[in-house]
Structure 1
Amino acid sequence: METQREKTHTCGTICLKYLLFLFNILFWLAGGVVLAVGVWTLVEKSDYISLLNSSFYSVSAYILIAAGVIVIMTGIIGCCATLKEMKSLLIVYLILLLCIFLLEIIAGVLAYITYQHCFPFCYQLDEELRQNLMGTMQQKYKQPGQESITEAVDKLQQEFKCCGSHNSSDWTDSVWIQSTQNVVPDSCCKTPSELCGIRDHPSNIYKVEGGCIKKLEEFILSQLYILSAVGIGIAFLQLVGMMFTCCLYRSLEEEPY
């Protein structure tokens, strides 16, 4: 009877080990996704950082990268603790999961509080971003030594199908526009070609209400929604992982030598 009890208990431990190992694989992959999003944001969208004159975008990318690295390292520790059945390492792993989970909760609460108490400062921040983008376009576009800004503006207008910070009339006071025959840059055209920006007509250029700043805001919001969903998914995974870790630790404690 005793032999049968030990055999059943061993099978339970093995099942817990494989379940926790599977969880760690999923957790590790989730960390990889977060890390990849952070790197992609920093590499592919870094041009926009210089246009916004704000460190928020780059700081967000670095936070994602750091979070991804921490999650991946935690997943590796979890795999080692599970496979080697090291109870002390399981405790360290459980503490790490708990800390990350608490940080996610705190970050979510702070984000909610910040959003709720944002007004009227949100409008002021939004207007400041509009003015910064418009100033950058008007003063730095196609000016000596501002090649990266020029490239970023052209990429922004083509990728988001927009023209100007608020609308195409923002280009009227541009230093470059005043020295050429163009009304808007060629990147404002629906079908870009040399000197296509001479004709300021809705059939030729993008006349998007709200301009490029609105498109940028919509893009950033969509990214935040995606990250929120990923964060909720990771938080759920962590709860499952903590449960499996506690069960495995208890099983190893009770298992006879």
Structure 2
Amino acid sequence: MAMEGGMKCVKFLVFVFNFIFWVCGVALIAIGLYAQVALNKALVVTSASASSTPIAIVVVGVIIFFISFFGCCGAWKESYCMVTTFAVLLSLIFLVEIAAAIAGYVFKDKVRAVLEQGLQEAVQKYGEDAALREGVDELQEEFHCCGINNYTDWANVAPFKGNDTVPRSCCRVNSTTCNVHPSPATVYEEGCVSSLEAWMKKNIVVVAAVALGIAFFEVLGIIFACCLMRGIRSGYEVM
């Protein structure tokens, strides 16, 4: 009877875990969508590969979302095959997350270089591509920045070369002449690379906290699933 009660407890814990895991999946989807919307213009003006990060977060969230339902079905039906598959998939996701975290740490110093290269190309084509021009303008307005490293970057870019002006999106105040003979008093002094980098560092704490929480519940889920598998295989009544 004690063993039967213990397996009922494990089954209940599997259900509780899967609900929490489902919430984690929803949280990842929300974070991925938020990152995609918040950095939409930055992704337009930088390399196309940069957009893969928010999309990858959403994909992982969707996968976790469906795996949690798979785990619930396996526990409810007491299916050894389904619970085993659930544990294997969860273990694979956990390993992929560890690999992604290691890769992120190794390549973290390249983020600035990628941003700078993408912005450099966008600024140089500012007068040629309407989509890039709109993206750069909205990026500068949203992040209160001007140019790549600072507002002087526009001095060598057409159509501002030689006339001592910058885009109006650099202006601190709403004035028809604020972009003429720019200075730190009239336009944003900080470059967009630094502003984007600061935004990412600020919000990476939230992403890291969510990732750690999900990893913790994944380990618990694997343990509970293995215990339930053992109980089902041993033929104990858990209902």
Match of 1:40 in 2: 34
Matched AA of 1:85: E
Match of 1:139 in 2: 125
- Aligned runs of 1:146-161 on 2, under 5 Å? 146-161=129-144
What's the CA shift string for 1:142-200, capped at 9, x where partnerless? Answer: x4xx3322221122112211111111111112212249x77222211122344432252
Give how far 1:21 is off: 0.9
Match of 2:57 in 1: 64
Match of 2:169 in 1: 187
2:19 to 22, 25, 39: 25
Give how far 1:114 is off: 4.3
TM-score of the aligned structures, taking structure 2 as reference length: 0.85
1:205 to 184, 187, 197: 187
1:138–1:170 CA contact under 8 A, matched in 2: no
Counterpart Cα distance in 2 of 1:128 and 1:238: 32
Asked if 1:241 is matched to 2:221, the reply is: yes
Counterpart Cα distance in 1 of 2:211 and 2:94: 10
Assess, with a 3 A threshold, how the Cα gap between structure 1 residues 256 and 136 changes in structure 2: closer, same or farther: closer
Assess, with a 3 A threshold, how the Cα gap between structure 1 residues 249 and 130 changes in structure 2: closer, same or farther: closer
Bigger RCO of structures 1 and 2 (CA < 8 A, at least 6 apart) = 2
Match of 1:229 in 2: 209
Give how far 1:28 is off: 1.1
Matched AA of 1:151: E
Assess, with a 3 A threshold, how the Cα gap between structure 1 residues 149 and 192 changes in structure 2: closer, same or farther: farther
What's the CA shift string for 1:119-152, capped at 9, x where partnerless? Answer: xxx4xx74564354234224324x4xx3322221
Match of 2:67 in 1: 74
1:177 to 149, 155, 160: 160
Give how far 1:248 is off: 2.2
Give how far 1:29 is off: 1.2
1:38–1:65 CA contact under 8 A, matched in 2: yes
2:5 to 3, 11, 15: 11
1:176 alignment partner, SS class? coil
Assess, with a 3 A threshold, how the Cα gap between structure 1 residues 112 and 201 changes in structure 2: closer, same or farther: closer
Assess, with a 3 A threshold, how the Cα gap between structure 1 residues 107 and 131 changes in structure 2: closer, same or farther: closer
Counterpart Cα distance in 2 of 1:106 and 1:178: 46
What's the CA shift string for 1:193-250, capped at 9, x where partnerless? Answer: 4443225232221112xx1111112223344443333222211111111111122233
Counterpart Cα distance in 2 of 1:239 and 1:27: 11
Assess, with a 3 A threshold, how the Cα gap between structure 1 residues 90 and 128 changes in structure 2: closer, same or farther: closer
Match of 1:101 in 2: 94
Matched AA of 2:153: D
Please give the root-mean-square deviation of Cα atoms over the aligned residues, in Å: 2.6
Counterpart Cα distance in 1 of 2:154 and 2:82: 61
